[in-house]
Amino acid sequence: MQLENVVVDALEPARVGAFWRAALDLELLSDDPGGYEARLSVPDGPWLDLCVQPVREPATAPPRLHLDLSGQGDPQAVVQRLLSLGASHLDIGQQDVPWTVLADPEGNPFCVLEDRARHQGTGPVAEVPIDSADPSRDQAFWAALTGWVPTSEGSERLLRHPSGRGPWLSFCPEPEARTSAKNRMHLDVRLEPGDDLDDVLADLERQGARRFDPGWGDLPWTLLRDPSGNELCLLPSTS
């Protein structure tokens, strides 16, 4: 299976999508009323699509997933560029930390990080932090789901694409338990040709995933929650 999309809910997808396209220098794939899609390609590494989908209501809960951007050798210059594109400073109680917390045009938080050795070759997105009730458990779950390679640095639990390039997935101890409110960001994983959906679902459920039905009718993908309750979509194979 392949980790394919980072999905963002937005009241104005074109506005939010245009911001992220400029911020990350993405390749535009689709810009229509049904959503905005652009691609992040890392040389000799993975690609990920940023999909901004329309919603009718603003977010009501803190996000359990966000983007950490690379400082690219000059974090303050990166911050100033993002502010010029429409980002704003955001206080989430971070106090004295070596990174800068910003918000996109609809208030979705993200960070610009100080330079770290492990961020060589990530591209503009250094990490995708995910709230986790059990980082070691969720690291193993997402490794099995995506084929990304697990590693640890001290207490941190991380995954990276087998190429050794592109962003890290990092599993962070959750500040509070998952609520019933829909998360404003989630990840999509696509089945490979030959994968049997029923077998895949049975295996994921043995590892702690749970299917859920929000009442949206028939969909071409399967909605799941990981063992910590974070939403994800399992997309059908393209062949």
CA angle 157, 163, 164 (to 5 degrees): 45
Q: Whole-structure pTM over 0.85, yes or no? A: yes
Looking at the chain, the whole-number percentage of residues with pLDDT higher than 70 is 100
Q: At residue 231, does pLDDT exceed 80?
A: yes
**Superfamily of segment(s) 2-235:** 2,3-Dihydroxybiphenyl 1,2-Dioxygenase, domain 1 (3.10.180.10)
Per cent of the chain over pLDDT 90 is 82
Residue 204: the pLDDT is 95
The domain spans of the chain are 2-235
Q: Is the pLDDT of residue 216 over 80?
A: no
- What's the pLDDT score for residue 219? 84
Alpha carbons 46 and 162: distance in angstroms, whole number: 9
Q: What is the model's pLDDT at position 95?
A: 80
Q: Give the pLDDT confidence of 76-135 residue by residue, as tens digits.
A: 999 999 999 999 999 887 788 889 999 999 999 999 999 999 999 999 999 999 999 999
Strands 222-225 and 231-235: antiparallel
**Closest C-alpha among 8, 63, 74, 65 to residue 40:** 8
CA distance 67 to 42: 16
